[in-house]
């Protein structure tokens, strides 16, 4: 894989193939660290090897607290692993509930088998098969990022908070 650490969100318009988990983790972290306004994530189960890392959580925390206009939205198809094993992003969403929103994908899209992340409506990571780590990343492709964002927003509007992810106070 190309040296993704040197790519700049909104500047580097090269589409790069991602070949595995390590490539995805590196691209996701680089994109999250550079986002200034928003992240949209559509995921099957909040992919622990990618999203449940301290570095990724730190990047999301910085984004969420950077501006009053920052927003992180995450659509999860299946939260059973997250509920059973815990997840840093879910814990962070409890603390920053006005900035980080999680919803369970509505029934109409439960069989949608793609995963993606969109940063600032300009950069994206896209895996056409959610359970595999092969995909593409582009730090500057507004057209494709907006197409993915349009689909994400359509699903978001039809989806609701996942009752399994609500914090229980005892």
Structural domain includes residue 11: no
> Is 58 part of any domain?
yes
Q: Say if CB 21 and CB 54 are below 8 A apart.
A: no
Number of domains in the chain: 1
- According to the model, what pLDDT value does residue 1 have? 54
pTM over 0.75: yes
* Residue 8 forms part of a structural domain: no
Domain assignment present for residue 86? The answer is yes
In a domain, 111, yes or no: yes
Write out the residue range of the structural domain in which residue 137 sits. Answer: 16-163
Query: Token pair of 60, please?
Result: 């999301």
pLDDT along the chain (170 residues), means of 10: 83 94 95 97 95 97 94 94 88 92 94 95 97 96 97 97 66
Residue 24 pLDDT: 95
C-alpha 72/C-alpha 67 separation (Å) is 12
The CATH number of whichever domain residue 110 belongs to comes to 3.30.870.10
In a domain, 90, yes or no: yes
Tell me if 2 is assigned to some domain. no
First to last CA, the chain: 48
Q: Tell me, yes or no, whether 1 lies in a domain.
A: no
């Amino acid at each position: 894989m190309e040296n993704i650490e040197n790519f700049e969100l909104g500047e580097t318009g090269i589409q790069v193939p991602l070949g595995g988990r390590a490539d995805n983790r590196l691209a996701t972290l680089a994109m999250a660290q550079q986002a200034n306004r928003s992240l949209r994530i559509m995921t099957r189960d909040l992919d622990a090897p990618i999203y449940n890392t301290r570095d990724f959580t730190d990047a999301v925390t910085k984004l969420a607290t950077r501006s009053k206009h920052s927003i992180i939205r995450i659509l999860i198809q299946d939260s059973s692993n997250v509920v059973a094993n815990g997840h840093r992003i879910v814990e962070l969403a409890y603390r920053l509930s006005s900035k980080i929103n999680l919803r369970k994908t509505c029934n109409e899209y439960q069989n949608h088998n793609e995963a993606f992340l969109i940063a600032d409506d300009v950069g994206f990571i896209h895996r056409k098969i959610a359970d595999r780590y092969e995909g593409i990343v582009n730090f500057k492709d507004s057209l494709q990022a907006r197409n993915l964002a349009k689909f994400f927003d359509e699903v978001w509007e039809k989806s609701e908070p996942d009752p399994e992810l609500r914090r229980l106070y005892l």
